[in-house]
């Protein structure tokens, strides 16, 4: 844990306690501030910063202060206020937004998710997380898009095009044969996917639509007590949108154990009775593909820069996984 004074944590001239004070109209002092992510303060071009403010929330609870680009903060705020805020038993307390006074970034303040870290080997944790996801999809589907970005097939096609462009931008500056071979392999996989895109778009349009987390994985889940029953607390909604349920089910396949798809089906059967276990398996497989498209897009943003060795290694792994996924019989 990295605990520092607020003035040591100022980003572009403002720190988390200062922003919290502005939001509530009164100064706050003698509060412990923990730098959660990153573990150290890097250069000021980082996309987001996350802090934990001890004891400033309701009943002396802790609060997470996250500084990110305005569009990212806006998406998270919509989820916490307009989606989870109406599904009271499923969400964390949302305290509000505070615009940064000097740069185009916004602070968002949310209840800190205490509890146990999610463990994929823990059957109870898996069951709780999958049931939570099914209930969330079922109930959020009835709310509609509520102003969230469209994360249908066109969104992932755009990510593919962006990845391709990033590969093209990087190629002239990469002199080592290994990096150039990775770029060629990733571009070949992208070409294969684009050849299949009409079928992918049709599958996305045909499946149930809901609010999707977009990065539903173990690091964004805590298991906490709620009365006599443990429940899931899910956070970090910056990749959320309205679209097919596949990406979140792909995360179940990736991180939470595919054998739990039946628990998900039970949770959504009242609104989507036609969805069967076999359908969900195919949807989850497509979701795995979409999640890997997103991962490659994220890593591809780093490849034009000189020190991109880690990004190239991750690209190689993601591309191998994506290539294997689109060669399986269920894909064809």
Can you spell out the DSSP letters for 19-70? HHHHHHTS---S--EEEEESSS---TT-SEEEEEETT-SGGG--EEEEEEEH
More confident residue, 256 or 250: 250
C-alpha span between 156 and 242 (Å, rounded): 13
pLDDT computed for residue 318 by the predictor: 95
C-alpha span between 308 and 300 (Å, rounded): 9
Three-class SS state of 243: strand
Three-class SS state of 318: helix
C-alpha span between 151 and 161 (Å, rounded): 15
Sheet holding 229-234, edge to edge: 116-117, 221-226, 229-234
User: Per residue in 314-329, pLDDT tens?
Assistant: 999 999 999 999 988 6
The pTM score is: 0.90
User: Which of 28, 43, 36 has its CA nearest to residue 2?
Assistant: 36
User: Which of 261, 211, 228, 256 has its CA nearest to residue 87?
Assistant: 211
CA gyration radius for the chain? 21
pLDDT band with cut points at 50, 70 and 90 for residue 46: low
pLDDT computed for residue 293 by the predictor: 97
pLDDT computed for residue 12 by the predictor: 62
The first and second tokens of residue 316, run together, are: 């190689």
C-alpha span between 289 and 253 (Å, rounded): 11
pLDDT band with cut points at 50, 70 and 90 for residue 157: very high
User: Do 242 and 151 contact (CB within 8 A), yes or no?
Assistant: yes
CATH architecture of 116-325: Alpha-Beta Complex (3.90)
C-alpha span between 291 and 159 (Å, rounded): 11
DSSP state of 93: P
Strands 48-53 and 209-212: unpaired
User: Per residue in 91-101, pLDDT tens?
Assistant: 899 999 999 88
Would the pLDDT of 166 be above 50? yes
pLDDT computed for residue 225 by the predictor: 83
User: What does the angle CA 314 – CA 319 – CA 322 come to, to the nearest 5 degrees?
Assistant: 125
User: Do 106 and 112 contact (CB within 8 A), yes or no?
Assistant: no
pLDDT computed for residue 259 by the predictor: 66
User: Do 92 and 111 contact (CB within 8 A), yes or no?
Assistant: yes
Which sign does the torsion angle of CA 138, 142, 143, 147 carry? positive
DSSP state of 208: -
pLDDT band with cut points at 50, 70 and 90 for residue 7: very low
Domain 2-111: which CATH number of 3.30.450, 3.60.21, 3.30.70, 3.30.200? 3.30.200
- Domain locations along the chain: 2-111, 116-325
Q: What does the pLDDT average to over 23-40? A: 77
The first and second tokens of residue 296, run together, are: 């490659």
The first and second tokens of residue 21, run together, are: 């004070």
Would the pLDDT of 307 be above 50? yes
CB atoms under 10 Å from CB of 299, counted, come to: 23
Would the pLDDT of 192 be above 50? yes
| Phi (first) and psi of residue 95, to 5 degrees | -100, -20
> To the nearest whole percent, how much of the chain has pLDDT over 90?
56
User: Per residue in 278-291, pLDDT tens?
Assistant: 788 889 999 999 99
Q: What does the pLDDT average to over 166-185? A: 83
Q: How far apart are the first and last CA of the chain?
A: 48
Helices (H), 90-176: 123-141, 153-170
């Amino acid at each position: 844990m990295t605990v520092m004074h607020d003035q040591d944590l100022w980003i572009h001239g403002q720190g988390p306690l200062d922003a919290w004070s502005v939001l509530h109209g009164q100064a706050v002092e003698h509060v412990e501030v923990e730098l959660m992510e990153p573990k150290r303060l890097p250069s000021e071009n980082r996309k987001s910063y996350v802090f934990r403010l001890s004891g400033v929330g309701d009943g002396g609870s802790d609060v997470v202060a996250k500084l990110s680009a305005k569009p990212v903060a806006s998406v998270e705020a919509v989820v916490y206020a307009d989606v989870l805020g109406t599904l009271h038993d499923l969400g964390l307390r949302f305290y509000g937004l505070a615009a940064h006074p000097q740069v185009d970034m916004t602070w968002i303040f949310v209840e800190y998710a205490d509890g146990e870290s999610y463990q994929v080997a823990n059957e109870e944790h898996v069951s709780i997380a999958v049931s939570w996801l099914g209930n969330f999809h079922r109930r959020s589907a009835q709310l509609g898009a509520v102003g969230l970005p469209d994360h249908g097939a066109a969104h992932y096609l755009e990510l593919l095009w962006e990845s391709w462009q990033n590969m093209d931008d990087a190629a002239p500056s990469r002199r080592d044969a290994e990096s150039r071979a990775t770029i060629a392999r990733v571009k070949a996989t992208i070409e294969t996917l684009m050849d299949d895109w009409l079928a992918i778009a049709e599958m996305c349009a045909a499946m149930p639509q809901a609010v999707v987390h977009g990065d539903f994985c173990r690091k964004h889940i805590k298991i906490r007590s709620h009365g006599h029953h443990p429940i899931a607390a899910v956070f970090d909604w910056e990749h959320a949108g309205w679209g097919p349920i596949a990406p979140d089910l792909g995360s179940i396949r990736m991180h939470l154990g595919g054998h739990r798809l039946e628990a998900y089906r039970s949770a959504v059967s009242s609104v989507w009775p036609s969805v069967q276990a076999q359908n969900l398996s195919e949807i989850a497989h497509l979701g795995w593909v979409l999640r890997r498209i997103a991962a490659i897009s994220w890593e591809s943003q780093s490849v034009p820069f000189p020190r991109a060795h880690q990004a190239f290694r991750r690209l190689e792994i993601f591309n191998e996984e994506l290539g294997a996924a689109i060669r399986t019989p269920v894909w064809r």
